[in-house]
Amino acid sequence: MTVTSDMTTLRQWYPVAYPNQIRPESTYDTTLLDQRIRLSRDDHSQITAHRLADDNSEMATIPIVQRFDTLFSTLGDSPRPLPQIAEFSEDDRRIIHCGSFRVRTSPCRIVENFLDMAHFCFVHTDVLGSIDRPEVLSYKTEYHPETDEIWAVDCQFFQPTASKSAAASGQGLMAHYSYRILSPFSVMLYKSAMNFAGRFDAICLFIQPLSETDCLCYMPMAILDNVSTKTDIIDFQQSIFVQDGIILENQRPKLMPLTPRSETPTRADLSSIAYRRWLKSSGVRFGLQSVEGS
């Protein structure tokens, strides 16, 4: 496979590993946008990354930065800066990641699923949604020109078990959400934190596209919870994620279609409409069905 020629997609930072996956004196090979790359740790514990040639020899170095407990790299020049997420530097938060999960579909489909509340009661039944309360109340989307981000705000949804810490209370609640599209293939949400009135958990989804229809998903979180164990929090988040996986790998076509009548959005899909429009105006082609192909 050749690396994409889509400049917008090339000029982004992507997660490529967690720091602990790069062992001293060993290498970690992975793929970014169809380009094989190798990460290694030198004698000074410094991490470096290279593109790999077909014969697995190391070629040009590529940059590596560590943010949100995750390693990011890029294949493009002057990439769009990584987002500022203040919650990750607040003292009383727990920074937890729950591994990386493979999902064989387009990164666009994965972002769109993350933005979507209407699936809660069918896909995360009795956890994030209750089958008898499926209504999505109206919310707003905003464009933030200073950061070039799309936000969905004033979102709310009735949830029987909104989080690991909410599970203990045993009764449902109206969960409040804001969503933030951070780049074409990364997105985060703020969700009202149980027992911390007025404050929000921050849950991110950074996608490493291996190819147009094969991704690794990284989910660093900065959450407010002084009740649950780390293992319980990870279990909760992973379960939700795998439930979404069944859906994501069985959407057709895998590449997201942008032509108007190929899919049917409703009011609940306002954030997806804004996302698709923004992808188009940003010139993204990666992960999208080409117009001829539709």
Note the residues at the interface with other proteins (CB under 8 A).
Answer: 18, 30, 97-102, 104, 112, 116-119, 121-123, 125, 134-136, 216, 229-232, 234-235, 238-243, 245-247, 249-253, 257, 263-268
Buried b (16+ CB within 10 A) or exposed e, 149-173: bbbbeebebbbbbbbbbbbeeeebb
Give the residue at shortest CB distance from Fe ion: 244
User: From the list Fe ion, other proteins, none, which binds 58 (C-beta under 5 to 8 Å, kind-based)?
Assistant: none
User: Does position 6 bind Fe ion by CB under 5 A?
Assistant: no
Q: Omega before 63 cis (within 30°)?
A: no
244 lies in the site for Fe ion, by CB under 5 A: yes
Using DSSP bridges, classify how beta strands 35-41 and 27-32 pair: parallel, antiparallel or unpaired: antiparallel
The residue behind tokens 């607040």 is 90
- Quick one: 74 or 100, whose CB is closer to Fe ion? 100
Q: Which is nearer to Fe ion, 116 or 225 (CB)?
A: 116
Beta carbon of residue 145, minimum distance to other proteins (angstroms, whole number): 29
Report the Cα–Cα distance between both ends of the chain, in Å, rounded: 22
Asked whether 13 and 207 are in contact (CB, 8 A), the reply is no
Structure tokens at 83: 């987002």
Which one, 230 or 280, has the nearer CB to other proteins?
230
Residue 259 binding partner per list other proteins, Fe ion, none, with a CB distance cut-off of 5 to 8 Å that depends on partner kind? none
Residue whose CB is less far from Fe ion, 28 or 177: 177
The nearest distance, CB 139 to other proteins, in angstroms, is: 12
Shortest approach of other proteins to residue 79 CB, angstroms?
24
Q: Which partner from the list Fe ion, other proteins, none does 252 bind, CB cut-off 5 to 8 Å by kind? A: other proteins
Q: How far is the CA of 92 from the CAs of 67, 82, 196, in angstroms?
A: 18, 23, 11
Tell which phi-psi region holds residue 50, choosing left (phi > 0), alpha (psi between -120 and 50) or beta: beta
